[in-house]
């Protein structure tokens, strides 16, 4: 069992002590000036540590996309050679992505990205609940729920990605579903299994909890949640709608092993640009349309077995398949098999007046990072709702930086960034 890590680090700037040299600090280089008239390094000297926001596309993936654009440019629904090549590329990627998460090729539905995949799951849960109510037959319990005008009930956490959070809030506000946002533990920053189970109602049709949080790196107890919910499903399978299980694995895939059978989930959201692939997504569905319902958000041709119609984006699909090819590409770091925190993610808060996260990052010469999820960038200097829901005080959350490393990050890079942060804090302290 690996030693557990604390996902939150709160620093007083004095812990760095006196200035010290680091590799590259004496290099001659070209510089430019930012909006605060602070000298920053040339782009070639910047050190990227925002891999949770997006990853660079792997060169092999670029080649796969280029080859597909060149050789497999036909419509996958066509029967002549360019179309057959495109169809083969799509199938190969579907099979590769499926094997990555322990499924079959038929379990994979390609989407435009994680947001669409998440929306598809929530839409399906609401649609399926309604169809169960309308086709209850002689089931007295379902008829009773129907007479009450019961809404489908969805359980999720209060630290989900916006594509879950805002979708759930919309369904709740529009009167299409009841939603319980289970608060995470202020001690562990995890969703507690018992809290999820306690929230279940006769009308609960979906439990959706992310596998790993994008800001804290905390890994959620999805397997334990699924085991408990399945026990409840066995007891109520005939009398009330089935509770389906979904996890958004966008931040987990490529860093820890993700296997649908081990976890026990019905749906898994997959996002290519989080693991060196293109900006395209996929949804794993356990036997879609048979064991697990899928109701389309879009209508058109018969692509993706009518679950997600529209001519397949062959090149991006080929790139997604290449990104996940080979088990060695999937494990960011295998040295933490028992850890409950992603090995690449750290949330740091540097305490002090005038050391807000955005200000620190805009002043850093070398570091490229973020204060949280990239999709929250339009919220100005507001503290992250994820950190606040973790019990982090407002002033600490406002000063937070999310640092996430990737395949090419070296120890030297980390040392340079630490020095960059130390110098930046000292500079801001003098300005204050």
Which sequence positions are flagged as catalytic? 375
The three-state secondary structure class of 116 is helix
Which strands make up the sheet holding 345-351, listed edge to edge? 8-12, 345-351, 400-404
Asked if 53 and 369 touch (Cβ cutoff 8 Å), the reply is no
Burial 238-275 (b: 16+ CB within 10 A, else e): eebbbbbbbbbbbbbbbbbbbebeebbbbbbbbbbbbb
Rounded to 5 degrees, φ, ψ at 98 are -60, -45
Sequence-distant (6+) residues with CB within 8 A of 235 are none
Q: What is the rounded distance in angstroms from the CA atom of residue 398 to the CA atom of residue 266?
A: 37
Q: What is the rounded distance in angstroms from the CA atom of residue 32 to the CA atom of residue 419?
A: 19
Rounded to 5 degrees, φ, ψ at 267 are -135, 140
Burial 186-217 (b: 16+ CB within 10 A, else e): eeebbbbbebbbebbeebbbbbbbbbbbbbbb
The three-state secondary structure class of 265 is coil
How far lies 76's CA from each of 58, 113, 286, 316, in Å?
Answer: 25, 20, 24, 13
Asked if 326 and 61 touch (Cβ cutoff 8 Å), the reply is no
Asked if 200 and 177 touch (Cβ cutoff 8 Å), the reply is no
Burial 44-65 (b: 16+ CB within 10 A, else e): eeebbbbbbbebebbeebeebb
Report, in angstroms and rounded to the nearest whole number, the Rg of the chain calculated over CA atoms. Answer: 23
Q: Which residues pair with 345 in a beta bridge?
A: 404
Residue 84 gets the label, from left (phi > 0), alpha (psi -120 to 50) or beta, of alpha
Q: What is the rounded distance in angstroms from the CA atom of residue 73 to the CA atom of residue 273?
A: 22
Per DSSP, the residues of 342-408 read -TTEEEEEEESTT--HHHHHHH-SSEE-BSS-GGGGGGTTPPPHHHHHTT--HHHHHTEEEEE--TT
């Amino acid at each position: 069992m690996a030693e557990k890590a604390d996902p939150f680090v709160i620093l007083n700037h004095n812990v760095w002590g006196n200035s010290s040299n680091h590799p590259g600090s004496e290099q001659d280089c070209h510089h430019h000036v930012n909006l605060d008239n602070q000298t920053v390094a040339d782009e070639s000297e910047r050190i990227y540590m925002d891999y949770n926001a997006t990853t660079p596309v792997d060169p092999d993936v670029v080649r796969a996309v280029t080859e597909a654009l060149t050789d497999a440019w036909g419509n996958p629904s066509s029967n002549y050679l360019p179309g057959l090549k495109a169809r083969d590329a799509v199938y190969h990627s579907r099979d590769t992505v499926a094997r990555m998460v322990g499924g079959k090729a038929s379990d994979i539905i390609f989407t435009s990205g994680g947001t669409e995949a998440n929306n598809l799951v929530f839409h399906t849960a609401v649609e399926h609940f309604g169809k169960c109510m309308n086709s209850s037959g002689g089931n007295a319990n379902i008829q009773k729920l129907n007479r009450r005008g019961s809404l489908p009930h969805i359980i999720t956490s209060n630290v989900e990605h916006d594509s879950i959070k805002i979708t759930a809030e919309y369904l709740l506000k529009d009167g299409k579903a009841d939603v319980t946002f289970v608060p995470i533990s202020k001690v562990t920053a995890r969703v507690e299994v018992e809290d999820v189970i306690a929230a279940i109602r006769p009308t609960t049709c979906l439990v959706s909890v992310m596998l790993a949080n994008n800001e804290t790196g905390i890994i959620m107890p999805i397997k334990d949640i699924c085991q408990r919910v399945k026990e409840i499903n066995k007891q109520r399978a005939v009398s009330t709608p089935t509770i389906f299980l979904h996890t958004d694995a966008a931040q987990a895939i490529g860093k820890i092993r993700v296997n649908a059978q081990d976890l026990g989930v019905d749906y898994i959201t997959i996002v290519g640009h989080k693991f060196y692939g293109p900006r395209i997504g996929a949804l794993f569905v356990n036997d879609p349309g048979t064991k697990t319902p899928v109701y389309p958000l879009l209508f058109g041709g018969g692509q993706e077995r009518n679950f997600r119609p529209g001519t397949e984006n062959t090149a991006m699909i080929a790139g997604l398949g290449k990104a996940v090819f080979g088990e060695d590409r999937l494990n960011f770091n295998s040295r933490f098999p028992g850890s409950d925190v992603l090995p690449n993610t750290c949330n740091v808060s540097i305490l002090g007046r005038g050391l807000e996260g955005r200000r620190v990052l805009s002043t850093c010469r070398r570091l490229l990072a973020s204060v949280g999820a990239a999709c929250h960038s339009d919220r100005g200097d507001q503290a992250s709702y994820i950190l606040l829901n973790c019990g982090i005080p407002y002033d600490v959350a406002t000063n937070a930086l999310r640092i996430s490393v990737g395949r090419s990050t070296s120890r030297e890079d980390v040392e340079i960034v630490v020095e960059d942060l130390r110098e930046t804090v000292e500079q801001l302290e003098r300005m204050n």
